[in-house]
Homo-oligomer: A and B are copies of this chain.
Amino acid sequence: MAKDKKVEQITDMEEDFAKWYTDVCRKAELIDYSSVKGMFILRPYGYAIWENIQRELDRMFKEGGHENVSMPLLIPESLLQKEKDHVKGFAPECAWVTIGGSEELEERLCVRPTSETLFCEHWSHILRSWRDLPLLYNQWCSVLRWEKSSRPFLRHREFLWQEGHTLHADAEEAIAETEQQLEVYAKLCEEFLAMPVTRGLKTEKEKFAGAERTYAIECMMHDGKALQSGTSHYFGDGFAKAFDITFSDKNNTLAHPHQTSWGLSTRTIGGIIMTHGDNNGLVLPPKIAPIQVIVVPIAQHKEGVSEKALELLKLLKSLGIRAKADFSDQSPGWKFAEHEMKGVPLRLELGPKDLESGACVAVRRDTGEKTVIKLEELESAVPELLEKVQNAMYNKALANLNANTFSAQTVEDVAQLVSSHGGGFVKTMWCGSEECEIAMKERAGVTSRVIPFDQENLGETCPVCGKSADKMVIWGVAY
């Protein structure tokens, strides 16, 4: 039997988590490196995961009344500079176009790192009356951030994302939008990606450049580190003032609208890998897997096997299941390993013996558990199994989150917990000062992840300065 592809071994995660991660990204054919450092190619299988994320998010956005638009790729430097905090945050990692059509440009143009300034400029053209509000826009695109280091999905100089941008008549409505969209992200993660999230507010130090408030969802990776998986910002009317965006309100008075933005990127795919993956490769939640079921014929040259496998495939597809059959000339063992590497949630094996008994063998990717399914029960059994896998994956990730979440009363305890568990979320009270936040980083090696919505009273004082503290913060080591 000819073989010109091999299922290569990957590094064990216990041995080297970072190497395991990049091994999975490459061997599962999610990604390839390009000749520009930090810019990655999303291969068909990696992009298909993103398409599934896009489909679910786009549906939820539209259900919420949002509309998609397309803004320019390039931002004139003068436009970027209009909001002072914003430019301070982004200018250091901008990439600049300085030559167009063989001529030096009069003003250099930044490749968008984010598009607040472009939306604001457009809104200043079109907004007239309270009747036009709210404006609920979203854009699917890529953005550039010229960072020094890079890592597949987690840190790209160019990454794919969506950026929602909305305008509202008042602060209350804008804040409600900010929170609602964070909840959309939480729903995506929990219901589709099987990733439990911690919702909360970022500290002043960690918030988005130019925002009044930044909300975030944080996820716990296999190695105990945190991944920020989606952020939602409330801007107040700061940008509106800087860009002179006004509308006549119901009293016919000129007013500045209140603004939000929110984004989720391909970084989330890194989160899926590090939440669910194992030493055999990727493990994908059924709801987001490009291939939900792989049918592998055993001894496919034997009479009736291929025909039955095709029939089975057709049945699965008719149920709306994303299924494929592997009729390649590789051995069954090779095929098993290949589709395990790619994280396909369910494998159906069908051989001559199964034909005789009118059944097939279903193998779960997440647990390896085997079930014999009668062919006539396939129609109900496969969707049930897929749901079971989805739920089990969520519960497993939740157990990992719980097992890695701790409380502490002193900075020393935080440091000790994080170093002994190689990460984890540590909850402490906090006085609210940036000095204590910086001190915590210096002394315990952690940053504030969020001030969670679900607050607990762990005491009365800040573990750093000993002063009165009424907020609980979650600290962690973040990607």
Contacts and interface: CB of A to CB of B under 8 A. Distances in A.
A100 B95 contact: yes
Contacts of A73: 39, 73, 111, 142, 144, 158
Contact of A101 (B95, B100, B126, B137): B95
A137 B36 CA distance: 21
Interface in A79-122: 79, 91-102, 108-109, 111, 118, 121-122
22 contacts: A5-B129, A32-B125, A34-B71, A34-B72, A35-B76, A35-B79, A39-B74, A40-B72, A41-B70, A41-B72, A44-B69, A44-B137, A50-B70, A70-B142, A73-B73, A94-B101, A95-B99, A96-B100, A97-B97, A99-B108, A101-B147, A141-B142
Given A92-B101, A248-B4, A328-B131, A121 B35 contact: yes
Residue among A72, A122, A144, A148 with most chain B CB within 10 A:
A72
Interface string A37-61: 0011111100110110000000000
A33 to B, nearest CB: 8
Given A34-B71, A74-B95, A98-B98, 4 more contacts: A4-B248, A32-B122, A39-B74, A73-B158
A68 interface: yes
B36 A76 contact: yes
B98 A96 contact: yes
A94 B70 CA distance: 21
A32 to B, nearest CB: 6
Q: How many identical subunits does the complex contain?
A: 2
A4 B131 contact: yes
Nearest to A58: B51
Given A4-B248, A68-B48, A158 B36 contact: no
Contact of A39 (B44, B51, B72, B99): B72
A146 interface: yes
Contacts of A102: 91-92
A151 interface: no
- The 9 nearest A-B residue pairs measured at CB: A101-B146, A44-B67, A39-B72, A42-B70, A96-B99, A100-B146, A4-B129, A95-B100, A34-B72
Residue among A4, A70, A248 with most chain B CB within 10 A:
A70
A121 B39 CA distance: 13
B39 A68 contact: no
A70 B147 CA distance: 20
A109 B157 CA distance: 13
